[in-house]
Amino acid sequence: MQLEIKELTKTYSNGVRALKGISLTISQGMFGLLGPNGAGKSSLMRTIATLQEADSGYVRLTGLSDGTSMPGDLDVLTQKDAVRRVLGYLPQEFGVYPRVTAETMLDHIATLKGIANGRERKDIVDALLQKVNLYEVRKKNLGTYSGGMKQRFGIAQALIGNPRLIIVDEPTAGLDPVERNRFHNLLSEIGENTIVILSTHIVEDVTNLCSDMAIICLGEVVAAGNPNDLVADLKGKIWQTFVEKSEIATYRQNHRVISTQLKGGKTRIHAYSDLPLAGFDPVSPDLEDVYFAKITEKMDVVTV
Ligand code: ADP
């Protein structure tokens, strides 16, 4: 099974070009879509989730056939109903009805997804509540849930009907570290036979979870591949030094600074260079360096 996205474009009515020809091939497993705010991640996720139209390009889900009546391939932009049957979607803004219990809400969503048999629905809902660790609080109103509990409820509703394609948009914003960790564990348990797209601006989420990824910026793909390979490409090219805050501007003028971070009162600078930089030490790159190198490169090209 694969999701093929080809030359996808989208311009909103206010003139913003949110997607400028996105092409990506996404295979089974956990795929990380990284990008700063405004990069176009949600626009791309909403398009794949059949919630908004693209201007041009295509999105195709291939290799779906499982011996049932399911067609082998789906054109995501036109066969929306069929796509919705295999889709689980956890949107960025996930509102819950505050006065409804988790159990009732999941039962309702399962009905909407076409699970007509009440007994079957109860089994599915109970199993999902156990899976996301909300079984004990299943009779509490959703309005009483914490942020992490709401996110886990969101995953439960996205998993109803055994989706083959799961889209999770910015899931860990606002979660404390314990809840975030629990959420990561839950995502990583989702079946092998599924495509999971995790859209986020948090590099660590991708480092921990994803075997394949892309970085998008200003509506374009600026990097794609296996995270370890992308990190390996930067080997020997990232240099580090510590400076006073007042010196940062000068360093930015003279070097390709990709990130600055306050560490114990000093500012740590990471710069990109093919050759050693005087006054800098070499460092082993990580995915954050990849992210910042790609983003700053793209932004520089645009602002020049
Ligand atoms: P991300 O999810 O990466 O933060 P978005 O897809 O939300 O990015 O936004 C991409 C660009 O499109 C931004 O400039 C944003 O302001 C703009 N945008 C998003 N949704 C709309 C909309 N409904 N109407 C107009 N502009 C929008």
**Among the atoms of ligand 1, which is closest to the Cα of residue 43?**
6
Give the pLDDT band of residue 70 (cuts 50, 70, 90): low
Ligand 1 centroid to 38 CA: how many Å? 6
Listed by start position, the domains of the chain span: 2-225, 232-299
- DSSP states along 217-255: ETTEEEEEE-HHHHHHHTTT-EEEEEE-GGGHHHHHHHS
* Strands 266-272 vs 238-243: parallel, antiparallel or unpaired: antiparallel
2-225 is a CATH 3.40.50.720 domain: no
Q: Is the CB of 18 under 6 A from ligand 1?
A: yes
Ligand 1 centroid to 33 CA: how many Å? 15
Q: Quick one: pLDDT at residue 171?
A: 74
Residue 113 has pLDDT above 60, yes or no: yes
Per residue in 223-262, pLDDT tens? 999 999 999 999 999 999 999 999 999 999 999 999 999 9
Q: What are phi and psi of 171, to 5 degrees?
A: -80, -25
Q: Using CB atoms within 10 Å of the CB of residue 177, give its burial: 0 to 12 exposed, 13 to 18 middle, 19+ buried.
A: exposed
Q: Quick one: pLDDT at residue 233?
A: 96
Ligand 1 centroid to 41 CA: how many Å? 8
Ligand 1 centroid to 153 CA: how many Å? 26
Task: Supply the pTM of this predicted model.
Answer: 0.90
Q: Is the CB of 38 under 6 A from ligand 1?
A: yes
**Among the atoms of ligand 1, which is closest to the Cα of residue 42?**
2
Residue keyed to tokens 């694969």: 2
Sequence-distant (6+) residues with CB within 8 A of 25 are: 2, 3, 4, 5
What integer is the mean pLDDT of 75-102? 88
